[in-house]
Amino acid sequence: MFRNLPIKRKLLLVMLLTSGIALVLTAGTFTVYEVLTFPETVSETASTLSHVIAYNSAASLAFKNDSDATQVLSGLRAEAQVERAALYDKTGKLFAWYPSTEPRNSFPATVGPRGLQRQSGALTVFEPVMESSSRLGTVFVKMDLRLMHKRLRSFGLIVVVVMISSFTVTLAMAVKFQKQISGPIVALANTARVVSEGDDYAVRAEKYNDDELGVLTDTFNRMLGQIEERDIALRESEERLQSILDNATAVIYLKDPDGRYLLTNRYFDALFNKQGIDVLGKTDDSLFPDDIAEAVRSTDQKVLTTGVSLETEELIPHEDGLHTYLSVKFPLLDNAGIPNSICGIATDITDRKRAEETLKMTAAELARSNSELEQFAYVASHDLQEPLRAVGGCVQLLKRRYQSQLDATADELIAHSVDGVTRMQTLINDLLAYSRVGTRGKPFEHTNCATILKHALDNLQMAIQECAAVITSDALPTVNADATQLTQLFQNLIGNAIKYRDHRRPEIHVGVTGDQTDWVFSVQDNGIGIEPQYYERVFKVFQRLHQRRESSGNGIGLAICKKIVERHGGHIWVESRFGEGSTFYFRISRQESNQDDSAKWVSCNRDSNGRG
């Protein structure tokens, strides 16, 4: 009961109780002292009085003067504690007594033993009256001990009066001074109540003085200021977070372990046509059909049980049917590392899933079409080769038998026919090679580009020797590629560099640079160069920049290079200065590739004699 009292009453009660207990203890101490010492004081008084009376009454007893004896005894009336007194002669006969009005039979009939004797409510003493060594008589004194109770009653009354006065003074002082103690405490309590009830951290407690309570008030106000700053920062942070969540294009939510929604973003609310306040505290059973709610709840429990994030696809009903969501769920842990909630971020991938299905169908159709196209190309090339070989054989036979036997016009026609058949056969073979780049390629494997370059140069050996070309290279890496197609890529680029040269000796350099993701190869020459407007055209099929009489070929070599590079996930481009030379670049992924130790700082040099 005391602990629930207001601080003012507690302080008042403490002061009053302290004062009262102090007074009671003091009064009790004095009372006990009085009770313990009063009989001894009476005894000493009785003994003293008996000696005095014995001394003063010796002459009265000696001369048998009872009136003098009575007068000596009457002097005891000043002692309120003396109830009776008497003198006995030496024979033990009552000689004189006090009070003289008392009857003789109220005094002892015989002389008792010498000394003090305690009876009920009284103390008696017998003291002999001596003169020299002879006994003249005996003094009897009876003291009333009941006066102690009267004295104690008076003392108690005084104590009560003192206590009432003390309580009155204490109460007045307590009422006056307790305000200085309870006032700041009550103010702190009221301020704390206002803060807790209204979450208003801007209020401050009033400071009354500069003592410890003043220090406590200052500390409390500083604490409120810090909490206010943190509360403002927290609200701003929550507003920023909610703004970020509301502007996200994904569904974001937070649930407790029982599946009740604690937080949702605007996209979630709009998606399910709910207000956030309508969703909070509810479970998936309130939003989805039973089977879908059970599936969602199952993945939630898996995340809470394992304590690790989970990425899964979930089907969620919409007005236009089921939509597929890519959902990432992860647990939020308390200080003990135990999951106390689960957060989910879900993105609608329905369009992507539909596109993937369409892409799969398209890829399957494309694979079928490519297969048919490859088969057609093979059949077409085979079927076209047969009549071409027949025509070519006939034309060659005409050339061998009738060359120089006919006129110049006939010889020219025969030569044109032979050349046309040859070019037609080359064109068919190039088309077949172009179509097989993406369909007949080999699996990628670790390929040493230095070895690949050597094979390409071996294939170009005769062309290199004819023009005395000088070919150098950087230290080339090992890449993940189709070795056959990479050889063809280098061979086509270097072959073009040799073919499209001017009067100067061809100088060709194969270089390589790289970053963290890709290798960038380059083939640089000092040939005739390419004008900027033709940079894109040179990589298209059958696009030639020169007349056939200036250079051979069908304009398909760089198209094959472009298709090879694209199959390897890269791209190819050219930079050139017309009349000074060109540099062809192509980029290949560096993934799963490494620098070949044997190729480091090794250059491949070829001259017209094929020496390396």
431-442 confidence digits (pLDDT tens): 666 555 555 667
Do 317 and 359 share a domain, yes or no?
no
Do 431 and 460 share a domain, yes or no?
no
Complete DSSP assignment for 340-370? EEEEEEEEE-HHHHHHHHHHHHHHHHHHHHH
User: pLDDT-derived band of residue 421, with 50, 70 and 90 as boundaries?
Assistant: low
Do 342 and 407 share a domain, yes or no?
no
> Which residues, other chains included, contact 57 with Cβ-Cβ below 8 Å and sequence gap of 6+?
68, 69, 72, 73, 87, 96, 129, 137, 139
Distance between CA atoms of residues 183 and 174, nearest Å: 13
Distance between CA atoms of residues 66 and 162, nearest Å: 50
Distance between CA atoms of residues 82 and 148, nearest Å: 13
Q: Tell me which residue range forms the domain holding 42.
A: 6-152
Residue 605 has pLDDT above 70, yes or no: no
Distance between CA atoms of residues 500 and 438, nearest Å: 28
Residue 580 has pLDDT above 80, yes or no: yes
Given 348, 379, 408, which residue is the final one in a domain?
348
Asked whether 214 and 301 are in contact (CB, 8 A), the reply is no
Q: Is residue 306 part of a domain?
A: yes
Domain CATH for 318: 3.30.450.20
User: pLDDT-derived band of residue 587, with 50, 70 and 90 as boundaries?
Assistant: very high
Do 324 and 431 share a domain, yes or no?
no
Check residues 389 and 439 and name the one with the higher pLDDT: 389
Q: Which helix (H) or strand (E) holds 523?
A: strand 518-524
The DSSP symbol for 63 reads T
Q: Is residue 497 part of a domain?
A: yes
Domain CATH for 518: 3.30.565.10
Secondary structure (3-state) at 488: helix
Residue 427 has pLDDT above 90, yes or no: no
Q: Is residue 95 part of a domain?
A: yes
Least confident of 117-126, 130-139, 363-372, 383-392: 383-392
Q: Is residue 164 part of a domain?
A: no
Do 372 and 340 share a domain, yes or no?
no
Dihedral angle over CA of 42, 44, 48, 51, nearest 10: 110
Residue 315 has pLDDT above 90, yes or no: no
User: pLDDT-derived band of residue 429, with 50, 70 and 90 as boundaries?
Assistant: low
**Residue at token pair 């690790």:** 308
Q: What is the mean pLDDT of residues 163-168?
A: 81
Q: What is the mean pLDDT of residues 322-329?
A: 88
Do 501 and 591 share a domain, yes or no?
yes
Q: Is residue 176 part of a domain?
A: no
Do 415 and 373 share a domain, yes or no?
yes
CA contacts within 13 A on the Cβ side of 497: 32
Asked whether 478 and 557 are in contact (CB, 8 A), the reply is no
Mean pLDDT across the chain, nearest whole number? 80
Residue 373 has pLDDT above 80, yes or no: no
Distance between CA atoms of residues 72 and 141, nearest Å: 13
Distance between CA atoms of residues 417 and 308, nearest Å: 76
Do 260 and 333 share a domain, yes or no?
yes
Asked whether 76 and 70 are in contact (CB, 8 A), the reply is no
Given 376, 411, 435, which residue is the final one in a domain?
435
Residue 553 has pLDDT above 70, yes or no: no
Do 89 and 135 share a domain, yes or no?
yes
pLDDT at 523: 95
Domains in the chain: how many in total? 4
Q: What is the pLDDT of residues 182-201, one digit of tens each?
A: 777 777 788 888 888 877 77
pLDDT at 455: 92
Do 344 and 364 share a domain, yes or no?
no
pLDDT at 171: 76
Domain CATH for 380: 1.10.287
**Would you give the distance in Å from CA 105 to the centre of its chain?**
106
Q: Is residue 608 part of a domain?
A: no
pLDDT at 572: 92
Q: What is the pLDDT of residues 243-278, one digit of tens each?
A: 887 787 788 888 998 989 888 888 787 776 655 557
Given 93, 125, 152, which residue is the final one in a domain?
152
Residue 595 has pLDDT above 50, yes or no: no
Q: How many CB atoms within 10 Å of residue 518? A: 16
How many residues comprise the chain? 612
Q: Is residue 66 part of a domain?
A: yes
Do 55 and 133 share a domain, yes or no?
yes
Q: Is residue 102 part of a domain?
A: yes
Do 333 and 420 share a domain, yes or no?
no
